Amino acid sequence: MTPLTYIRASDRADALARAGSDGRFLGGGTNLVDLLRQNVERASALVDISSLDGAIRESESGGLFIDASVKNTALAAHPLVRSRYPVLARALLAGASAQIRNMATVGGNILQRTRCMYFYDVDGARCNKRQPGAGCDALYGFNRYHAILGASDQCVATHPSDMCVALAMLDAVIHLSGAAGERQVPLTDFHVLPGDTPQIETVLKSGDLITAVELPPPSDATVNSEYRKVRDRSSYAFALISVAGGLALADGQVAQARIALGGVAAKPWRARRAEQALVGRAPTPDAFLAAIREDLIDARPLSGNSFKIGLVERTMVAVLTALAGTNA
């Protein structure tokens, strides 16, 4: 870790003004501080935004408006989240540990970086994300946790967040504030695939602040929703894969399906082909399986993660089958 200055922002404008070119926003610090200590990242200044307003309120349209500094624990416990967007509460509670969730903020969770071990090993491993052009040791190394979709030969890392998988499924929108003013980006467009520039992970511009996350009004398929995370131990481990699913039925047929996958790509993966394929179909395990395979046609497993394709299929079918049962 290099020496740096610490600034506590008094409000949003103060935060934006103080960030400067090399400054970084500090949420709960549960990821950024580790990265700084391991010299994966460097910063001259930390602008602490964790004590800025952290409110959760209903939006005019009937959705939910969540300030970026809301803690993961508070979001998961909120009654409106639990009743209208249970998938989000489940996803949050499946992540990290209670202590980390007490610190972690919504903004920080969205911007947390991959857990690829080669990304973290500054002294001993090559990583294109850390040092463009250096090479990727994960490609033929330990890549059990890595991507099967949307990766490139430059980078096969995954985005590790659980919360974001639920947000992707819910069509959440991210509110940003920066030099160019305010803008809004759907969460599914926020993270970008690695291509030849794996160091670029989001559409965020330097100095941009995430101010809030907005959830659209609830619908049958967000209320009847579930998050299932598959991991190497029963708690406190990142997802090997995860499935956020939501299902609305009408007349014994799928009216709407919402499916997002975690642990498979550099971004939460919205399974849009499956969602479309299912509309109007009977909600059977066979139909679910056939549908998810349409998204997984593009899967390119690595040396250590080919099990993920079958695992996604089975988990997705189990999640949707259960949802079909509760909706029947």
Binding site for ligand FAD (CB under 6 A): 24-32, 49, 68, 95-96, 100, 103-105, 107-109, 111-112, 160-163, 209-210, 238
Q: Among residues 159, 71, 59, 62, which one has the least CA distance to residue 108?
A: 71
The conformational region for residue 242 under phi > 0 = left, psi -120 to 50 = alpha, else beta, is: beta
Find which of other proteins, ligand FAD, none residue 162 binds, CB within 5 to 8 Å per kind.
Answer: ligand FAD
Nearer residue to other proteins within complex by CB, 137 or 162: 137
Site for other proteins in 28-47 (CB under 8 A): 37, 39
Q: Find out whether 317 and 285 touch, Cβ atoms under 8 Å.
A: yes
* Candidate list 123, 251, 297, 328; residue touching other proteins; CB under 8 A: 123
The conformational region for residue 89 under phi > 0 = left, psi -120 to 50 = alpha, else beta, is: alpha
Decide if residue 21 touches other proteins (CB under 8 A).
no
Decide if residue 286 touches other proteins (CB under 8 A).
no
Site for other proteins in 287-316 (CB under 8 A): 307, 310-311, 314-315
Nearer residue to ligand FAD within complex by CB, 205 or 300: 205
Find which of other proteins, ligand FAD, none residue 20 binds, CB within 5 to 8 Å per kind.
Answer: none
Number of H helices, E strands in the chain: 14, 12
* Candidate list 141, 178, 216, 301; residue touching other proteins; CB under 8 A: 141
Find which of other proteins, ligand FAD, none residue 307 binds, CB within 5 to 8 Å per kind.
Answer: other proteins
Q: How far is the CB of 124 from other proteins (least distance, A)?
A: 4
Question: Considering just the CA atoms, what is the radius of gyration of the chain in Å?
Answer: 19
Q: How far is the CB of 161 from other proteins (least distance, A)?
A: 15
Q: How far is the CB of 304 from other proteins (least distance, A)?
A: 9
**Using N-to-C axis directions, what is the helix angle for 307-327 and 285-296, rounded to 10°?**
140
Q: 178 — phi, psi (to 5°)? A: -160, -165
Q: How far is the CB of 126 from ligand FAD (least distance, A)?
A: 22
Residues contacting other proteins: total by CB under 8 A? 35
Q: Which uninterrupted H or E stretch holds 214? A: strand 209-215
CB-based contacts of 174: which residues, under 8 Å, 6+ apart? Answer: 110, 184, 185, 186, 187, 190, 210, 212, 213, 214
* Candidate list 236, 298, 303, 326; residue touching other proteins; CB under 8 A: 236
Nearer residue to ligand FAD within complex by CB, 147 or 287: 147
CB atoms within 10 A of CB 160: 20
CB atoms within 10 A of CB 115: 15
Q: Find out whether 146 and 157 touch, Cβ atoms under 8 Å.
A: yes
Interface residue list for other proteins (CB under 8 A)? 1-3, 37, 39, 115, 117-118, 120-121, 123-125, 137, 140-142, 144, 230-238, 240, 307, 310-311, 314-315, 317-318
